[in-house]
Amino acid sequence: MFIESVVVSGPDLPDASVYFTKGANVVQGGSDTGKSYIVSCIKFALGATEPPKPISLSRGYTSVRIKFENDDGSFFTLERPFVLNAKATLIDEKGVVSTLGAKHSAKRTDTISSHFLQKMGLDGKLLLSGAESLNSSSFSFRDFEKTLLIDESRIVAEYSPVGTGQNSEKTKEKSILKLLLTGQDDSAVKGAKKDLASKALLKHKVDAVEEVVTKFYPDDDGAQLHELQRLNSFKTQVTARLGLAEAELKSAFESSDGLFEQKARHISELEVAEVKVSEDRALLSRFTMLGQKYESDRQRLVGIEQAATLLDAADTVHCPTCGNNFDSDTCISDVDDIRMGVFFELDRISKNILELSEAQGSLSAAIERNTSCAQSSKAAIAALEKQIASELQESVQAVSDLKELSSCIRHDLAALDERVAAKAKLTEELKRLGLLLLEEQDGYTADSFEDAVKPLVSEIQSILGRWGFPNHLPVDFDFKTR
């Protein structure tokens, strides 16, 4: 594949063209005749960011079109307008039109760089750019352009044709030359770079774990072990004392069985007395209501008796209800019969009231008696509880104190065990990470390509001899300056 022609176009202007043939082509001419402009047009068409600087002869031209001829004789063209960062239009061998981006990207195929690299079988190649850091970069067409297109400044310069010859670019320039001569890139550096990053991550982890151990677990292992032994011994002693105290408490309970039985009996008596008091009070309340009814009936009968007496003493009286005259001659009832009936009812109600009063008195006495019994039972229960407490309090308190102490010891032991286990786990992790750090890391060394340079040297020597360069022997390649 080679550049067949470079054509610049503009509205209302004739195309300006330059044509090339297969092999090395030299653009020559006098000063300010457009040599650098032609080179800049080619660079821009192949992906340079900025358009060529305008010259007087280029005024009005707005785009560049380059025609490429493949080895099989087919053609394709690439056209790009003179606009900053403009995309290019590709018309391939079959006439299919597509748009290509100017900026190289290893992740994209729709770029000028990717299009040409695919044609040359160099797409996706990786360059080594840092021998110690193992940094890498993807091979772009702009990297290859340095060997494809050499302007006047590079022709007369005394540095590497594949770059600048600077020491900082040494690794990448050698990687480019090796790729062009052998077709082998430095893709293997990715694995070595990953291993290097893993080592750095391991070192970071080691530092972090050491910091955690130093900051949060500063205790000496021997001191922690001694403290564990002391707490375990103390726990054993407290457990034994607690067992004795519980046995003493059980014995004290057994010796106080009589007191508990008395207390239970008094509690039962108290419950019976309180139930009786409650029932008697309810019955007394009902008797009070019945007495009120008897009294109401008695007062009603007394009123009837008084009315009968008044009726008997007067011939005519006014009716208390309607105010009409009430004539004794018209009354068919015998007043004496009414009085006899009232007296009989009054006598019966009076007897009921008397019997009810006696029953109320009996109930009140029973309530007072049962209340007194309840109070006595409560007093007896309180006295028994005091006696039981005095006999059991010391044993109960001893058991309670020992249980609390045992709980505290278990808590301290659990906390210390957790700290010891956590520190041991971190220590084991440090050992594991340390062993990983000590493992030998596979480094990366770029393959030597000195043998591949020899045919290049021979070819250059032959060309220099054919062109008649004086004092061209011997020709050699300086790997230091490339």
CATH classification of the domain holding 25: 3.40.50.300
269 lies in the same domain as 414: yes
| Residue 351 within a domain | yes
pLDDT score, position 352 = 84
| Residue 462 within a domain | no
Q: What is the CATH number of the domain that holds 366?
A: 1.10.287
Cα 177 from Cα 450, distance rounded (Å): 11
Averaged pLDDT, 29-39: 86
Confidence category of residue 151, pLDDT binned at 50, 70, 90:
confident
pLDDT score, position 3 = 93
Cβ neighbour number for residue 445 with a 10 Å cutoff: 10
| Residue 354 within a domain | yes
Residue whose structure tokens are 């109600």: 349
| Residue 71 within a domain | yes
Last residue of a domain, one of 102, 128, 161: 102
pLDDT score, position 50 = 92
pLDDT score, position 354 = 87
Number of domains the chain contains: 2
The pLDDT tens digits of the residues spanning 59-72 come to: 999 999 999 999 89
Q: Which of 16-20, 117-121, 436-440, 467-471 has the highest mean pLDDT?
A: 16-20
| Residue 138 within a domain | no
Give, for 66, the enclosing helix (H) or strand (E).
strand 63-69
Domain span at residue 92 reads: 1-102
Confidence category of residue 319, pLDDT binned at 50, 70, 90:
low
Cα 314 from Cα 402, distance rounded (Å): 100
Cα 119 from Cα 113, distance rounded (Å): 10
Confidence category of residue 45, pLDDT binned at 50, 70, 90:
very high
259 lies in the same domain as 399: yes
Q: Which of 94-98, 130-134, 425-429 has the highest mean pLDDT?
A: 94-98
| Residue 208 within a domain | no
The pLDDT tens digits of the residues spanning 183-201 come to: 888 777 766 666 666 666 6
Q: Are 108 and 70 in contact (CB under 8 A)?
A: no
| Residue 425 within a domain | yes
Q: Which of 234-243, 258-267, 382-391 has the highest mean pLDDT?
A: 234-243
| Residue 416 within a domain | yes
The pLDDT tens digits of the residues spanning 262-291 come to: 888 889 888 988 898 898 889 888 888 988
Cα 460 from Cα 476, distance rounded (Å): 9
